[in-house]
Amino acid sequence: MKKRMDVFEIDNKSDHKIWAESDGDEVVVCRSDANDKDSYEVLVRWSASTIRNLLIWADSGNSVTAVVTGPMAQQVKDQAQKLMLTPEMFIWHAVKLFIEVGESEKNN
């Protein structure tokens, strides 16, 4: 695996550094000693869906997580940008509106 500049820094201590980077369809978490930046070890290599499932499990069901992919993901990004919202806030407002409409229909 070739180290890239677009990494997600997880931990940067005086004696070591831990980071994640994309490698195709997988996320690779690596560790290097602070004194030896040229060599590193791969700690774990998982698919994004495995990481997503791990986070959902770790949250013990305290939240609801949804993943939007494909053409719908692009539509969400495009519409969110038009409204100057993040895609996450766009989804939040859409779900909130859907719930409010459902509640008002139930009350009629």
- The Cβ of residue 90 has, within 10 Å, a number of other Cβ atoms equal to 20
CA-CA-CA-CA torsion sign (89, 93, 99, 72): negative
Total domains in the fold of the chain: 2
DSSP state letters, 24-43: TTEEEEEEEETT-TT--EEE
Assigned token pair, 60: 């013990």
- 54 assigned to some structural domain: yes
| Residue 4 contacts residue 21 (beta carbons within 8 Å) | yes
Give the per-residue pLDDT at 104. 86
- 29 assigned to some structural domain: yes
Q: pTM surpassing 0.85?
A: no
Q: Using DSSP bridges, classify how beta strands 41-47 and 26-33 pair: parallel, antiparallel or unpaired.
A: antiparallel
> Above 60 in pLDDT, residue 4?
no
- 64 assigned to some structural domain: no
Assigned token pair, 35: 């004194």
Residues 35-50, mean pLDDT to the nearest whole number: 89
What pLDDT digit, counting tens, does each position of 43-88 carry?
999 998 899 889 888 988 788 888 899 999 999 999 999 999 999 9
What pLDDT digit, counting tens, does each position of 64-73 carry?
888 899 999 9
Per the structure, the complete domain to which residue 81 belongs is given by: 70-107
Give the per-residue pLDDT at 2. 52
With cut-offs at 50, 70 and 90, classify the pLDDT of residue 3. Answer: low
Both 23 and 54 in one domain: the answer is: yes
Give the per-residue pLDDT at 72. 96
Both 35 and 76 in one domain: the answer is: no
- 24 assigned to some structural domain: yes
Task: Report CA Rg, the chain.
Answer: 20
